Structures are given as C-alpha cells and as structure tokens.
Amino acid sequence: MAGKRGAFWKKLKYNYKLSISNETSYEELFTMRLSRLRVIMGLSVLAVVLVGLTTLLIAFTDLKEFIPGFPDGNMRRLITENALRVDSMEMELQKKDAYLNSIKSILQGEEVGVREVRSDSLLQRYDTIQFSISEEESAFRAAMEERERFNLTVSRQKESSEYYHFFSPVEGIVSRGFDEKSRHYGTDIVAKANSRVSAVMDGVVCFTDWTIKTGYVIQVQHSNNLLSIYKHNSTLLKKQGDYVMAGEVIAIVGNTGEETTGPHLHFELWRSGNPLNPENFIQFK
C-alpha cells in the first residue's frame, strides 16, 4: 500500500518538458518544465482568483441584478415605498382606534381624557397647563353652583308669557328654514367655522351629548316651558346643569354628524312640546 502511494506521489512530481520550437529551423523559442502537481496547484490558484474576482464584480457592480431572485433597482424602490406606506397606515389605524374609543366612551357616558400620542415619526403634545384655585374660591364656586344649579328664576327681568326677547344664537345666513311638513323643526344657519354659539335666553343646560346624525348637541331649558336646541357643534363649552345667561357662549359652530353639509348651526325652538319657527322670533341675517 505504501509502495502504491509512493509511486502515485512520484508520478505527481515527475517533471515534463514543454517546449515551443520553430518549425523550419527547429530552434527552441520557449521551454518550460512542468509536473502534474504544479499544474494542479496552478489551476487551483487560478480558480480561487476567478471566484474572488467574480464575487467582487457581483457585490459591487450592477451585475447582481442579473442573478435570478435578486431585486433590481425598481423593486427595491417599491419595497421602500411600500414600507413607508405600511408605516403611515399603521399610524392612521392608531388614530382611527383612538377616535373610535373616544366615541365609545362618549356613548357610554364615560369621561374622555386627552392623551399624548407618541411615535417614531410623529410627536403630538397637548397643552396641560392648569391654573391653581384657592380653597376659598373652590368652596365659593361649589356653593354658588349648587344654589343656582336648577334655578330658572335668576333672570333680572320678569318674563312675559306673550312677549320674549331672544338673543341671536349665531351670526350667519339662513340656508334652510322651518318646515313642519318635512319634519325640519328648526332653522339652518350657515356661519364661519369656529364661530361662537350663544344662548338665546337665560336658562339651564338640560342636555349635552354627541349623536350620530346631529353631532354635538346642547339643549337649554328656559322659563315658560321654552326649550332651545343647538346642533352640529364642534365643541360644547357648557355641561348639563350649568346656568347660562342670554348671549353667553355655550358652543362652537362645527360640521359634526351625518346630517351636515358644512359648518352651520341647526337651531330649534320648542314650547310645551310644540316646535316653533325661530324666524318668527329672531331676525337672522
């Protein structure tokens, strides 16, 4: 066995002469001594060099795009754009979830608080400034609010059962009037966005809530069984049980609810369960 290995190793190291001669004069132009071992080693080195050069060309040039399965420039751009779109969609879904949770809390009568929303690409901060109130002032406010909570006789002027002086709820133009046949029991007044909504008379806020069709709604109970209703507000500034004076701001004009076509106020006036035409009592612009 050892003899066979020795013979094989001897064959690998056996030298051969490679010469190039002139065919006419037989002069030797080039001579090289080779062995099988040298040929194998040379081919191996050449293979390693070729593999290294090919790897470098593929890694640092555009030749890699010709490899099956490797994304080209357009595909990589689309992948990046899709990743950004997915991130934006996740942010929008978070906003929608927060909005739906707020609506759910409102419908269930729970208190809705303002939360701080943080993300890698978005940072929203809300004002949390609070003014301190002394204990004496807090006690005085609580006593006055409790005493006047459901009092409808605080008005300085004695109301007549036949004559009423109404304060205009908002400055705007009437876009749709009172129509009892079509069950439109109020007047639509187009106003600028974020305009103030005022109470038409002295009274007590008896209802504040959000509805799907009419958005944020506030109702004020007045003396002599008069009830005023303000719909499609963007923000309500009063709570149920608050006493308001005529002309006092109670809400902000908005565009909330499904039955709205733009910033406007839907104003209704009722007495003893019967709807009244607001334009018979209030002169709108």
| pLDDT tens-digit map of 56-79 | 877 777 666 667 666 666 777 788
Does residue 71 lie in a domain region? Answer: no
Do 267 and 193 sit in the same domain of this protein? yes
Do 180 and 264 sit in the same domain of this protein? yes
Which residue range is the domain that position 268 belongs to?
Answer: 166-280
Do 182 and 206 sit in the same domain of this protein? yes
pLDDT of 119: 45
Residue 6, pLDDT > 60, answer yes
* Banded model confidence at residue 163, pLDDT cuts 50, 70, 90: low
Do 190 and 106 sit in the same domain of this protein? no
Q: How far apart are CA 205 and CA 229, in angstroms?
A: 10
> What does the angle CA 60 – CA 66 – CA 71 come to, to the nearest 5 degrees?
80
- In the chain, the number of structural domains is 3
More confident of the two residues 16 and 205: 205
CATH of the domain at 225: 2.70.70.10
Does residue 121 lie in a domain region? Answer: no
Q: How far apart are CA 253 and CA 231, in angstroms?
A: 9
Do 273 and 198 sit in the same domain of this protein? yes
Do 272 and 177 sit in the same domain of this protein? yes
Establish how many alpha carbons lie within 13 A of residue 154's alpha carbon, considering only the half-sphere containing its beta carbon. 18
Does residue 86 lie in a domain region? Answer: yes
Does residue 219 lie in a domain region? Answer: yes
Do 93 and 36 sit in the same domain of this protein? no
Tabulate helix, strand, coil % of the chain (nearest 5). 35, 25, 40
Does residue 233 lie in a domain region? Answer: yes
In this prediction, residues 136-155 reach a mean pLDDT of 63
Do 175 and 265 sit in the same domain of this protein? yes
Q: What percent of the chain has pLDDT above 70?
A: 77
Does residue 200 lie in a domain region? Answer: yes
Q: How far apart are CA 35 and CA 33, in angstroms?
A: 7
Do 106 and 185 sit in the same domain of this protein? no
* Non-local CB neighbours of 181 within 8 Å, separated by 6+ positions: none
| Amino acid sitting at position 60 | F
What are the tens digits of pLDDT across the range 224-258? 899 999 999 999 999 999 999 999 999 999 988 88
Q: How far apart are CA 152 and CA 21, in angstroms?
A: 128
Total-model pTM: 0.45
Do 255 and 172 sit in the same domain of this protein? yes
Structure tokens at 243: 């006493």
